[in-house]
Structure 1
């Protein structure tokens, strides 16, 4: 997807995101944060934090930095932090995920929830997320990936040309994620609704 298309798409989505796509994906998002709270170190980067739907679920001992390219989404995330008094959130910053403005090995954990099929140059984004992880750190991801067969696979292929309108790639290949140099898959399982989402944990080696 082109960057302008992402910006415009999420400017349209921001007012209704929590009640639409956000609601559909909440189960997988909660699982991801629960895993981070249980298994991961304290310094967490959430890439494409959006409206901040997951921020209140992080444990109080986490130190969470959230980044997003959409000013409209970040405005809602900041309002959520203020409204709920989320002291575990240390910063929310406007940033292009292809060029994360952090030194190498800055975080114990990167959370990437329902975002990799949205961003331009996803391979580059994956490399950046791996770069800012400390050795042994975890990339915890939830996302929809293309199915190889069945009626849903045909629907995904049909929808693919409309990515700039939908705001995401319906036929996104999981190999873009699992093939990232320096990361190994340690967990992979389906998540609701109807197993359409995938929960992935990758470790920096």
Structure 2
């Protein structure tokens, strides 16, 4: 990687982690997601919701909630309270409109917040979800430790994240999509360059095996790592504890 690339990567991570990057694309974020994922992102979120094994009355913390897609999916299918946290005011503004339109304002609460420093007590939530957000957190280890801290014993942590398939035709197709199609479509629809950051952030993200080990190091017991759509996305399911 060139020196320019080395300098730009941390800046991109800081902007993404602070929410600044997403404020500018908030109004078109959902459209971009549907087009770039070819509509598959909704199915990935449904799989994450099922993995939480929720019971009525549970409290769920949805980190990097963005425009509240996952928070709404959880509240629509389960009688639970969802607290959605995100650093981007712009994304949350879109999310609040969607929550109101879905008639879920009484059960979905959206707040500005940081996954690295959660203002919640120990063992205070029954489950945590996070879709396509951990990659943008500058201090991943700290965020994972916070997840382990605030989730009750026996609760579930479900993290969805993009990954690059290793080897084979699928790997080549995924790389072409991420490095060529995504920046082009993202720029064309949003009129901005933020989606060029996506290709670099995916390339820098650890392999599924490495990330699972990071989760273990943060005090989470990994129950399973589930590749979706031939490894384009991985679902990590864990619970607080060692092992």
**For this structure pair, what is the TM-score category when the shorter chain's length is used for normalisation?**
0.7 to 0.9
SS at match of 1:189: strand
Structure 1 equivalent of residue 63 of structure 2: 47
Q: 1:118 to 1:137 in 2, by over 3 A?
A: same
Q: Does 1:105 align with 2:109?
A: no
Residue 112 of structure 1, CA deviation: 1.0
Compared with structure 1, are the counterparts of its residues 163 and 129 closer, same or farther at alpha carbon in structure 2 (3 Å cutoff)? farther
Alpha-carbon separation, structure 1, partners of 2:105 and 2:195: 36
| Higher helix content, 1 or 2 | 2
The match for 2:20 is 8
Q: Does 1:20 align with 2:32?
A: yes
User: 1:141 aligned to 2:159?
Assistant: yes
CA displacement at 1:183 relative to structure 2: 1.2
Report what 1:178 is aligned to. Answer: 213
| 1:43-92 deviation per Cα after TM superposition (whole angstroms, max 9, x unaligned) | 10000110011233223411111000000000011111111111563421
SS, match of residue 24 in structure 2 = helix
- Offset at residue 170 of structure 1 (A): 1.1
C-alpha distance in 2 between matches for 1:46 and 1:117: 15
Task: Verify the 8 A CA contact 2:135 2:161 in the aligned structure 1.
Answer: yes
Pairing 1:128–2:160 present? no
What is the distance in 1 between the residues matched to 2:22 and 2:116? 17
1:176 CA displacement:
3.2
Structure 1 residues 147 and 137: alpha-carbon distance in aligned structure 2, compared to 1, 3 A threshold: same
Contact between 1:50 and 1:77, CA under 8 Å: does it hold in 2?
Answer: yes
Higher strand proportion: 1
Structure 1 runs of 4+ off > 6 angstroms? none
Q: What is the CA distance between 1:28 and its match in structure 2?
A: 0.7
1:114 aligns with 2:132: yes
Count the aligned residue pairs: 199
CA distance in structure 2 between the aligned counterparts of 1:178 and 1:88, rounded to whole angstroms:
37
- 8 Å contact from structure 2 (residues 23, 88) kept in 1: yes
Q: Where does the alignment leave 5 or more consecutive residues of structure 2 unmatched?
A: 1-9, 180-192
Change (3 A) 1:178 1:21: farther
Secondary structure class of the residue paired with 2:21: helix
Query: How many angstroms apart in 2 are the aligned matches of 1:163 and 1:125?
Result: 23
CA deviations over 1:153-196 (Å, ceiling 9, x no partner): 7949x96xx9995257112113234332321221222213x530
